[in-house]
């Protein structure tokens, strides 16, 4: 599942704000605490003080996600192009097993061009399997033989029924708010004779000169603004809960039929299509911008890495991704030259984990670093595993895997994002993940939040290091990033999801926040000895 935070169970999240209403500095994740007073990663300082005038090499970063708008004004110059392919000739020119894979590959695409947008949750798929297995009245012999599975079945069903009930309660509320917001905005635009509302213009409406409908619209609009909501926020809520009821928890929903693959086999190179934007590229486009939006064009934002190519690998629907697609997506990115892979997704179950584990080990063999979001459930992932995991079956830790938690732009006890997962053993580092202003489809920009935003921030730092210090291996990149963090172990913070005060060092194995400036210095020192 795509893991940017949309405030599903809060009334509103503060994503999707207009540029003039940003919560903090739009480039805050690249700023420096010592120089700028905000706990970014020191990226700008690294370029200005340490990397200026130094040469770099182009680095390919695989973005396994929902798809990317490859024509975005701030991304198109940095989108990977497969030079071994002749576009749209229907031939696998480079013989890599994928026909016309110009910018990457879509593992959620059908041969006829159709795409999967929405999927069930993994728990829903398993619930359907269990229902077929046990039926309405399982025999005592079956219950005795499959006791563990039956207990899991009852647990999943109870959780699914509760969450579906909650979704059905929230959906009409969000729909009503959305309808009112659209109607109120229309009334205000008509009164003000404008196509674009601003808070100032609405606030300054003289109610003595306005009729009852305008006064009501003004009151409702400003109430929403005060709560931090926009039309896009509320629409996200509608789509989220609608997706839960129609797709995520729907036992009868079966989108995979359009692809026609065998879900019991990996079938690498045997399914998918070359259309990498997909039907909903918002999440992937935002992630791609954080890594590699062009830094020198004076457009909307600056990505972290300045000499990068984004390889688009579409494998993440609205709902839970399939292990098969994740494993194949990792292998595709590795086989086609990616040295860093970002994975801003995850789920609580991984029935074919062995496939993903083999892909992770394959990436290690090929010297590729994997960077992954830790998840947005404010949960201890040492206790409740978030997949994909750096711990392989058998307990061995993948040395080329970094798990990332999310930081806030605020300091003090609120410095950790309230939604971020954590884990003293499992999570490696933290990075900016709230109010991240980045690219979205149609050459637009928005603030979004989630560990999905923190992960590409770290992937961007890894790409920057690999670009300027190309001899660094995947394991060395992880070591450099981990060893150079800003240590905040003794800082008192609110435990994600509660008001309990704990030590920051309890949330990850480094107890720190990624610091690109210090990472570059560490890379300089390490490579000088090679």
Give the tens place of pLDDT for each residue, 379-430: 999 999 999 999 999 999 999 999 999 999 999 999 999 999 999 999 999 9
What is the pLDDT at residue 17?
35
Same domain? 313 vs 434: yes
DSSP 8-state secondary structure symbol assigned to residue 484:
T
Half-sphere exposure of 87 (CA within 13 A, CB side): 4
Same domain? 228 vs 303: no
What is the residue range of 235's domain? 122-248
- Positions of the chain with pLDDT under 70: 2-21
Contact 418, 497 (CB under 8 A): yes
Q: Is position 86 within any domain?
A: yes
What is the pLDDT at residue 135?
93
Half-sphere exposure of 487 (CA within 13 A, CB side): 5
Q: Which of 353, 337, 287 is nearest to 314 (CA)?
A: 287
Q: Is position 309 within any domain?
A: yes
- Domain of 356: which CATH number? 3.40.50.200
What is the pLDDT at residue 23?
76
Same domain? 287 vs 431: yes
Same domain? 300 vs 287: yes
Q: Is position 492 within any domain?
A: no
Residues in the chain: 530
pTM for the model: 0.93
Same domain? 92 vs 235: no
What is the pLDDT at residue 95?
97
**What are the residues facing 373 on neighbouring strands?**
404
Same domain? 422 vs 296: yes
Same domain? 280 vs 343: yes
Q: State how many domains the chain has.
A: 2
Same domain? 228 vs 361: no
Same domain? 431 vs 308: yes
Q: Is position 522 within any domain?
A: no
Both structure tokens of 73:
């004004």
What is the pLDDT at residue 486?
98
What is the pLDDT at residue 462?
98
């Amino acid at each position: 599942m795509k893991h940017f935070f949309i405030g599903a169970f809060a009334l509103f999240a503060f994503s999707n704000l207009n540029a003039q209403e940003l919560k903090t500095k739009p480039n805050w994740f690249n700023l420096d605490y010592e120089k700028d007073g905000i706990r970014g990663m020191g990226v700008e300082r690294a370029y200005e003080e340490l990397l200026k005038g130094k040469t770099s090499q182009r680095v390919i970063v695989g973005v396994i996600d929902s798809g990317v708008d490859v024509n975005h004004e701030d991304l198109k110059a940095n989108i990977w192009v497969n030079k071994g392919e002749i576009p749209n000739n229907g031939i696998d020119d480079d013989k890599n097993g994928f026909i016309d894979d110009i910018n990457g590959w879509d593992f959620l695409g059908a041969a006829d061009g159709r795409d999967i947008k929405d999927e069930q949750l993994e728990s829903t798929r398993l619930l359907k399997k269990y229902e077929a297995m046990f039926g309405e009245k399982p025999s005592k012999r079956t219950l005795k033989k499959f006791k563990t599975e039956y207990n899991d079945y009852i647990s999943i069903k109870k959780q699914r029924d509760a969450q579906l009930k909650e979704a059905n309660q929230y959906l009409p509320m969000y729909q009503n708010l959305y309808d009112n917001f659209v109607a109120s905005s229309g009334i205000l635009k008509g009164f003000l004779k404008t196509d674009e509302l601003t808070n100032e213009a609405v606030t300054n409406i003289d109610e003595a000169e306005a009729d009852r409908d305008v006064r009501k619209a003004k009151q409702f609009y400003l109430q929403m603004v005060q709560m931090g909501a926009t039309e896009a926020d509320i629409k996200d809520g509608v789509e989220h809960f609608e997706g839960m009821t129609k797709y995520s928890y729907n036992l009868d929903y079966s989108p995979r039929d359009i692809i026609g693959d065998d879900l019991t086999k990996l079938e690498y190179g045997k399914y998918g299509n070359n259309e990498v934007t997909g039907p909903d590229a918002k999440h992937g486009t935002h992630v791609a911008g954080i890594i590699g939006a062009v830094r020198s064009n004076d457009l909307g934002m600056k990505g972290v890495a300045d000499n990068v190519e984004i390889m688009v690998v579409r494998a993440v629907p609205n709902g839970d991704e399939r292990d098969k697609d994740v494993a194949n997506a990792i292998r595709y990115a590795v086989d086609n030259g990616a040295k860093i892979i970002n994975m801003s997704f995850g789920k609580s179950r991984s029935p074919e984990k062995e496939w993903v584990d083999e892909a992770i080990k394959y990436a290690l063999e090929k010297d590729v670093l994997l960077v992954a979001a830790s998840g947005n459930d404010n949960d201890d992932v040492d206790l409740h595993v978030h997949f994909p995991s750096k711990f392989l079956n058998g307990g061995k830790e993948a040395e080329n895997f970094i798990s990332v938690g999310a930081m806030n732009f605020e300091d003090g006890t609120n410095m950790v994002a309230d939604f971020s997962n954590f884990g003293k053993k499992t999570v490696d580092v933290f990075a900016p993940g709230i109010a991240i202003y980045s690219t979205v489809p149609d050459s637009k920009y928005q603030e979004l939040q989630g560990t999905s935003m923190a992960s590409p921030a770290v992937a961007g730092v890894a790409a920057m290091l690999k670009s300027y210090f190309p001899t660094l291996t995947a394991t060395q990149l992880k070591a450099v990033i981990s060893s150079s963090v800003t240590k905040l172990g003794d800082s008192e913070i609110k435990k994600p999801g509660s008001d309990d005060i704990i030590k920051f060092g309890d949330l990850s194995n480094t107890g720190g926040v990624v610091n690109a400036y210090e990472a570059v210095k560490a890379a300089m020192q390490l490579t000088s000895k090679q």
